[in-house]
Amino acid sequence: MTDTTPPDAATGSPDAPGTPNPTGTPNPTGTPNPTGSPDPAGLPGLPEGVLRAHAEQQYAAELAAIAAHDDRPRPPGWHLSPWAVTTYLHGGEVDGTPITPKYVGNRRIVEVAVATLATDRALLLLGVPGTAKTWLSEHLAAAISGDSTLLVQGTAGTVEEAIRYGWNYARLLTEGPTDKALVASPVMRAMTEGRLVRVEELTRMPSDVQDALITVLSEKTMPIPELGSQVQARKGFNVIATANDRDRGVNELSSALRRRFNTVVLPVPATADEEVEIVHRRVTELGRALELPELPPGLDEIRRVVTVFRELREGVTSDGRTRVKSPSATLSPAEAISVVTSGIALAAHFGDGTLRPADIAAGITGAVIQDPVSDRVVWQEYLEAVVRERRDWADFYRACREVSG
Ligand SMILES: Nc1ncnc2c1ncn2[C@@H]1O[C@H](COP(=O)(O)OP(=O)(O)OP(=O)(O)O)[C@@H](O)[C@H]1O
Ligand SMILES: [Mg+2]
């Protein structure tokens, strides 16, 4: 395989997780926290002007319909049975209500992830960038706990307080260490409330911060020596962590921690059709959420973006005839979604209302050429050897040539 991506080629995805919460403050965004209502049907609608709804807000109606017809046993603290959670994620129909697929791919992957969370082991979603790790973890938390907002964002600067707890210093100075002066981390809140907590990019955290999770996962307890007390996790508590394949070696998971996780590897989409479906579905949803002018997403152009990305990723054309070099960029469905969404914005605001090759050419070129020297060579070669030869790709070839200069 000709995969030459450097380890730090993490890419922006159209679905950046909510708000990083490095301080461990419970609700830094001030977004309404739906935790008061255990029943997804009772969640308030999306407040005016909010750019991105949490999964449990956006899919409240689906979750309610599934819950109403879910008579299978639910693990303690769960809002739905494992079967119902899988239906929510994989899609289908419940008593006339269509359930949109959230995760497109092998159903078994979802089943293993859901089953893991019903045990005392935590779940680690591993994969290359843009393979829906964050997306799946948000939807798992929404379906299982009715709340996907308990989140710790792992970065090199994440401190132990983000996993354990911090202090309100004004109170600490006047009252000393008391219950009220303590600021619970999302992990601590998940323990007391019996919910799932998400830990994003686990392997980017310094190792000693990661290790703060060991006691939590093995003893299900978080000691608070300053108060001489501890928090014991309630039923329903568990951890979903995500880690990027490409970050391997940044801060390797300690073996003590690794043993407490079941790892599920999320693959890149198996077939082009699957990938087209993912991109088409997300682009349509995003366009609606961003209130872009109505525009049919243009399946032909989506297929073209997906074809280019798959060929560059795999190092060979879809007919298996021509070998091509792979650029350093990841080129996952996440990048394809960005390219098509920007293309739609271009077409809607500056074009004739139809998504055309010229609208995606700039996006594709930008996504492929991350390294201005080596990637540019790879892209030029691909343009000349593959794109130029395809009869019905002439417009696209011209548009790309214009962008690349
Ligand atoms: N198999 C899939 N099913 C549904 N959506 C997918 C799939 N693969 C990718 N996506 C879409 O790709 C986008 C990016 O996914 P996400 O941000 O979860 O990736 P990630 O694996 O967390 O990446 P990173 O490692 O960069 O954080 C999401 O909009 C998601 O819907
Ligand atoms: Mg992610």
For 143-152, 251-260, 262-271, which range has the lowest pLDDT when averaged over its residues?
251-260
Average pLDDT, the chain: 87
SS3 of 213-236: HHHHHHHCEEEEHHHCEEEECCCC
Q: Are 151 and 203 in contact (CB under 8 A)?
A: no
Quote the ligand 2 centre to 83 CA distance (angstroms): 25
C-beta of 103 in contact with ligand 1 (< 6 A)? yes
Quote the ligand 2 centre to 347 CA distance (angstroms): 29
pLDDT beyond 70 at 5? no
| pLDDT of amino acid 30 | 39
The protein residue whose alpha carbon is closest to atom 30 in ligand 1 is 132
Residue of 104, 125, 135, 136 best suited for mutating to test ligand 1, as the one with most atoms within 8 Å of CB: 135
pLDDT beyond 80 at 126? yes
* d(C-alpha 304, C-alpha 285), whole Å: 20
Q: Are 149 and 28 in contact (CB under 8 A)?
A: no
* d(C-alpha 228, C-alpha 278), whole Å: 50
50-87 residue pLDDT tens: 888 899 999 999 999 999 999 999 999 999 999 999 99
The protein residue whose alpha carbon is closest to atom 15 in ligand 1 is 132
pLDDT beyond 90 at 185? yes
Quote the ligand 2 centre to 251 CA distance (angstroms): 17
Q: CA geometry: angle at 347 spanning 342 and 353, to 5°?
A: 145
SS3 of 326-351: CCCCCCCHHHHHHHHHHHHHHHHHHC
Collapsed DSSP state (helix, strand, coil) of residue 28: coil
The band of 353, judged by pLDDT with boundaries at 50, 70 and 90, is confident
Q: Is 241 left (phi over 0), alpha (psi -120 to 50) or beta?
A: beta
91-119 residue pLDDT tens: 999 989 999 999 999 999 999 999 999 99
Collapsed DSSP state (helix, strand, coil) of residue 303: helix
The protein residue whose alpha carbon is closest to atom 4 in ligand 1 is 103
The protein residue whose alpha carbon is closest to atom 13 in ligand 1 is 334
The encoded tokens of residue 265 equal 């590897």
C-beta of 333 in contact with ligand 1 (< 6 A)? yes
266-285 residue pLDDT tens: 999 999 999 999 999 999 88
Quote the ligand 2 centre to 337 CA distance (angstroms): 15
The band of 247, judged by pLDDT with boundaries at 50, 70 and 90, is low
| pLDDT of amino acid 405 | 66
Helices 133-145 and 82-90 pack at an angle, to 10 degrees, of: 140
Q: Are 100 and 91 in contact (CB under 8 A)?
A: yes
pLDDT beyond 50 at 12? no
Which has more confidence, 224 or 35?
224
Q: Which ligand is nearest to the CA of 289?
A: 1
Quote the ligand 2 centre to 43 CA distance (angstroms): 25
SS3 of 224-292: EHHHCEEEECCCCCEEEEEEEHHHCCCCCCCHHHHCCEEEEECCCCCCHHHHHHHHHHHHHHHHHHCCC
Quote the ligand 1 centre to 333 CA distance (angstroms): 7
Place of tokens 């830094």: 28
| pLDDT of amino acid 87 | 97
Percent of the chain with pLDDT over 90: 72
CB proximity list for 405: less than 8 A, separation 6 or greater = none
